Structure 1
Amino acid sequence: MNEVKSPKKPLLYYYLLVMLVLLLFNLLAMPWISEHQIKEVDYNTFVSMVEKKEIGKVDIQEQDNRILFTDTEEKSIYKTAMVPDDDLVSRLLEAGISTSGTEIQQTSLLVSILGWVLPLIIFIGLGQMLSRSLMKKMGGGNSMMFNMGKSNAKVYVKSAEGIKFDDVAGEDEAKENLQEVVNYLHDPSKYQDIGASMPKGILLVGPPGTGKTMLAKAVAGEANVPFFSMSGSEFVEMFVGMGASKVRDLFRQAKEKAPCIVFIGEIDAIGKKRDGQLGGNDEREQTLNQLLTEMDGFEGNTGVIILAATNRPESLDPALTRPGRFDRRVPVELPDLKGREEILKVHAKKIKIAEDVDFNKVARMASGASGAELANIVNEAALRAVRDGRRFATQADLEESIEVVIAGYQKKNAIMTDHEKKIVSYHEIGHALVAAMQTHSAPVQKITIVPRTSGALGYTMQVEEGNHYLMTKEEMENKIATLTGGRAAEEVVFGSVTTGASNDIEQATELARAMITRYGMSDDFGMVALETVTNQYLGGDASLACSADTQTKIDQQVVELVKREHDKAVDILTANREKLDRLAAFLYEKETITGEEFMHILGE
């Protein structure tokens, strides 16, 4: 359970607290200290000292019934009780002692020093406390200014988390590449005998959530060596030079614990290309320069292996990715069908699950999912089982959790009118019927008109039978026709259109444009790349690389292609109007139908 921390008090609170302490000190402590600095003597001693003229000043305090007096040098203060003595004043006058009412100061040198030094000590202590609090906020958890240049890398000595290659599924090629690093760390002599040396740096490249960090930890776990982990953004400080200092300190620690593995996550935070423009990020460039220097400053046989991860490899500086620094690039791609099935089985070991679960079917439904998304799917299935009061997750839980990841949770309180429900039913059956009547289309797995939290009022799920790496021109045209099938059904049945096809229109337009500009499927342009894509692992940012006239022709061809496939969808639905009505009525009544039910009605 996380500890609940009380809110921090304002600075004024501490200053008021210090003022109260000082006030109490002056009112209570100072008089007590002063009182204990006075020496008490009897009255006979006082008279004897008067006669011997050993007294400097006398203060007769009748209200307190005491006499205060000092020695001739006025360094010590004495007190004695008053007794009836009519000759006291004359005795003092004969001895030449002043009794003019001069008040004797009761504060000694020690008391005076405490009165000045103690407040200073309190204020200095308060300042140190506030300074530490401020530096924790500014220095990323460091408590002192001198620690700001220190590396705050997380160290997992001897693989504290116990991650091995068996815990990372679906990345067989990447594990095979990294297994060589493990073998080298176990037995470097067999590589050194032949004159081979391991790469200084290995760059893990792939989309988010594919397990790059976990692979790096698995290498350390298999090799049983210390593992230093640090994010690229942690090197960048608000003070110039601190990032470079952290790099130096990190490599110093790594050399001391060699053999070991240094992992830098999101290295593009410090490894971006240096453009040389004025006003650039000097701190980031200094950190990058120091990293390049450190990678050149140690030999490959020191036992320090550097692993780094990024999902923007095209933005990295060429000096960082050249041979001799990051020598090897290991792609960590989205898993294929077999990989998704293995990942699901690995994460399913962490929960209680039914014995009859078909992981192959779930993996086919989760096409395009990353390892992190598959882990989320398994966890959602477990949560759904708990909500329904079951002690284990079932096939239905896993399939529903895929829909949750794709389209969101069901909106149980969303109520559509009968007319809207009928439109959505025809819209979704339009997609499914156009897909079923075409060849080379993925089979329909499920059709539903239950609204989802993503905003979808319904959807049609198609699932490929196996791995599908290439798409022909005919398959892409059929997919565009399937995407336009929902709008076509609205036109055929109701003679009007709605806003429900907005997402279909976006996907169809994007696919048609890619066919013409990137895949060379246009008769006019042929095999000419008219569009470039950057950030391929982060969704892809497309930009046209052609003249304005060519862009106009591209737009015309995109419109013609989508319109042609839309007309084909209208023709298919018009020719199968009876099946369209029957399937839409069945979906309207049931709200959700399976692919088997759909094909059964279609075949009647």
Structure 2
Amino acid sequence: MNMRNILVWAILLVLLLALFNMLQGPAQQPAAGQEMNYSDFMERVEAGQVDAVTIEGQRISGQLESGQAFVTQVPPDASVTEQLRANDVQITARAPQEEGLNFLSILLSWFPMLLLIGVWIFFMRQMQSGGRGAMGFGKSKAKLLTEKTGRVTFDDVAGVDEAKEELQEIVEFLKDPSKFQRLGGKIPKGALLVGPPGTGKTLIARAVAGEAGVPFFTISGSDFVEMFVGVGASRVRDMFEQAKKNAPCIIFIDEIDAVGRSRGAGLGGGNDEREQTLNQLLVEMDGFEANEGIILIAATNRPDVLDPALLRPGRFDRQVVVPNPDITGREKILKVHMRDVPLADDVNPKTIARGTPGFSGADLANLVNEAALMAARRNKRLVSMAEFEDAKDKVMMGPERRSMVMTEKEKTLTAYHEAGHAIVALNVPSADPVHKATIIPRGRALGMVMQLPEGDKMSMTHQEMTSRLAIMMGGRVAEEIKFGKENVTSGAASDIKQATRLARAMVTQWGFSEEIGPVDYGEDQGEVFLGQQIVQSSRVSTETAAKIEREVRKLVQAGLDRAREVLTEKQAEWEALAEGLLEYETLSGEEIAELLKGRKPVRDTSVPVKPDDREGGGAVPVVDEDEDSARGTAKGPQGPLEPKPGGA
């Protein structure tokens, strides 16, 4: 508690005490007695009716024989002591009270003024509380970051080397501007960090603050917007005023899309408060009056919704892309997060990085943390590769549900379903290697088949897509061949959903249909308002929509036919794999290969296998479950592996 708070509470306490004494004071004073004039007092003394008196200066109080109390005032020149003694009156003398110097009376007389002062101090304190009080709506909520301990530097950021280089230049400019100015270079006004969630945009901004050694203000885009129009613009002005006083400095705005959305794009013409805030931000960044020495760094994962005026050079001079890391970047990120984790000798970050394609920096940090927690639960002193493998399975597929009760019929059906996926994956032209198959329920799936890509994929070929369609339909075909059409279950619902989604993208977005041709009929994901979506979809005629549906059905049916062809030809291998899954529940890719050669998997039975300690997979999950009855289907680590136009 600072001195200002102590002073406020002390004043309030004194005022309460004064008020209490003022209210209680008259009741605590003793009864003064009946007022008696001096002549009557002297007559009663001479008549012997006064027993004792108390003299306090010119004031005499006492008690008559009848018990009645009295009080009287003695004239200044009167001498009553001799007369009292002559009439045998007992005399008590006391020093007179100086009422003019009574602190309590002074306090009571000043009570109204002190009360007004206390109220004034209270409101001043509210106004100076950083914009949180009733009078601070227009104050900026930007916080000055001064990390003396736990400071983040570029050494703590890995896997985004290009982004580090771009921001390292800003740091060097702040440290030594003359190096660039002598060649005519100007300090950049702003840098926009763009990338998916969890890739480390905020972490990079903190590293810039740690490296630059200049004042660093941080604020969220949502802190500008309030229910009152004009408050956000006032906060922007106040933030830049604070930054001017500390220039050169850096302002970091996280999630700038909350305030920087395109103007006039909302229902009824837009949001006045947000647009006023954006207008003020545009002016402050590059308006009539330039703010020299202030660099704005912002982060967003929705650059498509930002206003074009915000993205132009002079405001955000450079857009720094912070993508998901590749295998080399993932290895570096894992090493950063493994610094404080005691590792066993068998831990290989490169192997873990290979088995986690599509993982962001946040995903990898969670993976390392889960492995450490798992080792702690197992009472281990070191985190081994087994914990990392099991942690990958848990992060990507969810925890095991060994307590779930499955009937023997359901387990058999699941085994043949997953074996169908695996056998088709092993026999189509272009498919990722099968890494693991299991019939142990995880998350919302009763079983799954996992495929591990040999490297990071930025796009897919037509052959890979048709092979994936066949893999997706392998489970449904397996149920149909083994148990008959009348016994096919709803477990393939997710398979059918993903296959349809992939086939529709092939037809409407990627031009893989000869009848439709290379024309984009896909929905524009950038449009977020219902009215605009209706206008977009109305461009597809009824005849074209019917053609699209026929082409989608043709592709899915071709996958179904290919899966039936493979399972019919490889029925012996398929049934052998299903029986192996019923026996072992989980089979790795190597064990599946041995099983198909007629050799049973060799496992170490000397150590009892606990539910959490059995062999992990380290695979990329290829499942997408919508309900408990769902079974495995082809999928990438962060969603369906659908290639982007142009191989991006």
Shorter-chain TM-score: what band? 0.7 to 0.9
1:503 counterpart (481, 484, 494): 494
Helix, strand or coil for the counterpart of 1:302? coil
- Cα deviation for residue 577 of structure 1 reads 1.1
- Cα deviation for residue 486 of structure 1 reads 1.2
- Cα deviation for residue 382 of structure 1 reads 0.6
| Contact 1:132–1:143 under 8 Å retained in 2 | no
Deviations 1:294-320 (A, max 9, x none): 102488893321110111111111111
2:544 counterpart (538, 541, 550): 550
Q: 1:196 to 1:349 in 2, by over 3 A?
A: same
Match in the other structure for 2:98: none
Q: Distance in 2 between matches of 1:574 and 1:49?
A: 139
Listed as ranges, the matches of 1:504-583 within 5 Å are 504-534=495-525, 546-583=540-577
- Cα deviation for residue 513 of structure 1 reads 0.9
Q: Distance in 1 between matches of 2:116 and 2:277?
A: 38
| Contact 2:357–2:455 under 8 Å retained in 1 | no
Q: Distance in 1 between matches of 2:496 and 2:378?
A: 37
Q: Distance in 1 between matches of 2:379 and 2:40?
A: 94
Helix, strand or coil for the counterpart of 2:186? coil
2:352 counterpart (341, 353, 362): 362
| Contact 2:35–2:71 under 8 Å retained in 1 | no
Q: Distance in 2 between matches of 1:118 and 1:301?
A: 50
Q: Distance in 2 between matches of 1:67 and 1:436?
A: 118
Listed as ranges, the matches of 1:150-165 within 5 Å are 150-157=139-146, 161-165=150-154
- Cα deviation for residue 374 of structure 1 reads 0.9
Q: Distance in 2 between matches of 1:191 and 1:379?
A: 43
- Cα deviation for residue 22 of structure 1 reads 11
Alignment of 1:377 onto 2:367: yes
| Contact 2:438–2:449 under 8 Å retained in 1 | yes
Alignment of 1:338 onto 2:332: no
Deviations 1:324-362 (A, max 9, x none): 111211111111122112211211112122221122232
Match in the other structure for 2:207: 218
| Contact 1:198–1:300 under 8 Å retained in 2 | no
Higher RCO, 1 or 2 (CA under 8 Å, sep at least 6)?
2
Match in the other structure for 1:243: 232
Q: Distance in 1 between matches of 2:238 and 2:217?
A: 12
Helix, strand or coil for the counterpart of 2:135? helix
Q: Distance in 1 between matches of 2:124 and 2:358?
A: 48
Q: 1:522 to 1:143 in 2, by over 3 A?
A: closer
Q: Distance in 2 between matches of 1:395 and 1:49?
A: 114
Letter of the 1:558 counterpart: V
Match in the other structure for 1:408: 398
Letter of the 1:577 counterpart: Q
Deviates more, 1:146-155 or 1:576-585: 146-155
| Contact 1:312–1:535 under 8 Å retained in 2 | no
2:445 counterpart (445, 456, 466): 456
Q: Distance in 2 between matches of 1:70 and 1:473?
A: 119
Match in the other structure for 1:319: 309
Alignment of 1:597 onto 2:591: yes
| Contact 2:37–2:73 under 8 Å retained in 1 | no
Deviates more, 1:462-471 or 1:110-119: 110-119
Q: 1:240 to 1:110 in 2, by over 3 A?
A: farther
Match in the other structure for 1:267: 256
Match in the other structure for 2:186: 197
Q: 1:115 to 1:193 in 2, by over 3 A?
A: closer
| Contact 1:159–1:227 under 8 Å retained in 2 | no
User: How well do the aligned residues superpose, as a CA RMSD in angstroms?
Assistant: 4.2
Q: Distance in 2 between matches of 1:343 and 1:64?
A: 98
Match in the other structure for 2:419: 429
- Cα deviation for residue 397 of structure 1 reads 1.3
Normalising by structure 1, we get a TM-score of 0.79
Match in the other structure for 1:16: none
Letter of the 1:571 counterpart: E
| Contact 1:262–1:307 under 8 Å retained in 2 | yes
Match in the other structure for 1:348: 338
Q: 1:201 to 1:62 in 2, by over 3 A?
A: farther
- Cα deviation for residue 179 of structure 1 reads 2.1
Normalising by structure 2, we get a TM-score of 0.74
- Cα deviation for residue 267 of structure 1 reads 0.4
- Cα deviation for residue 467 of structure 1 reads 2.1
| Contact 2:472–2:495 under 8 Å retained in 1 | yes
1:188 counterpart (148, 173, 177): 177
Deviations 1:64-86 (A, max 9, x none): 852246899xxxxxxxxxx9xx9
Q: Distance in 1 between matches of 2:43 and 2:506?
A: 117
Deviations 1:451-509 (A, max 9, x none): 12x21111111011112222110001101111111111111111132122222222111
Helix, strand or coil for the counterpart of 1:326? coil
Q: How many residues align structurally?
A: 545
| Contact 1:159–1:224 under 8 Å retained in 2 | no
Listed as ranges, the matches of 1:88-107 within 5 Å are none
Q: 1:127 to 1:552 in 2, by over 3 A?
A: farther
Q: Distance in 1 between matches of 2:64 and 2:577?
A: 113
| Contact 2:157–2:203 under 8 Å retained in 1 | yes
Match in the other structure for 1:147: 136
- Cα deviation for residue 549 of structure 1 reads 2.7
| Contact 2:33–2:68 under 8 Å retained in 1 | no
Q: Distance in 2 between matches of 1:588 and 1:507?
A: 27
Helix, strand or coil for the counterpart of 1:508? helix
Q: Distance in 1 between matches of 2:384 and 2:179?
A: 50
Q: 1:475 to 1:392 in 2, by over 3 A?
A: same
Helix, strand or coil for the counterpart of 2:431? coil
Match in the other structure for 1:392: 382
Letter of the 1:255 counterpart: K
Q: Which runs of 5+ in 1 are unaligned?
A: 1-19, 73-82, 87-108
Q: Distance in 2 between matches of 1:343 and 1:40?
A: 94
Match in the other structure for 1:31: 27
Match in the other structure for 1:66: 69
Deviates more, 1:114-123 or 1:398-407: 114-123
Deviates more, 1:345-354 or 1:277-286: 277-286
| Contact 2:129–2:136 under 8 Å retained in 1 | no
* Percent of aligned pairs with the same amino acid: 47
Q: Distance in 2 between matches of 1:286 and 1:48?
A: 89
- Cα deviation for residue 157 of structure 1 reads 3.3
| Contact 2:190–2:315 under 8 Å retained in 1 | yes
Q: Distance in 2 between matches of 1:232 and 1:379?
A: 30
| Contact 1:197–1:301 under 8 Å retained in 2 | no
| Contact 2:131–2:138 under 8 Å retained in 1 | no
Q: 1:554 to 1:390 in 2, by over 3 A?
A: same
Match in the other structure for 1:230: 219
Q: Distance in 2 between matches of 1:275 and 1:300?
A: 26
Q: Which runs of 5+ in 2 are unaligned?
A: 1-15, 46-57, 76-83, 88-101, 528-532, 599-648
Deviations 1:174-233 (A, max 9, x none): 112222212222221122112122321111111111111111121222222222111000
- Cα deviation for residue 61 of structure 1 reads 10
| Contact 1:158–1:224 under 8 Å retained in 2 | no
Letter of the 2:513 counterpart: S
- Cα deviation for residue 46 of structure 1 reads 8.8
Helix, strand or coil for the counterpart of 1:363? helix
Deviates more, 1:437-446 or 1:156-165: 156-165
Q: 1:27 to 1:420 in 2, by over 3 A?
A: same
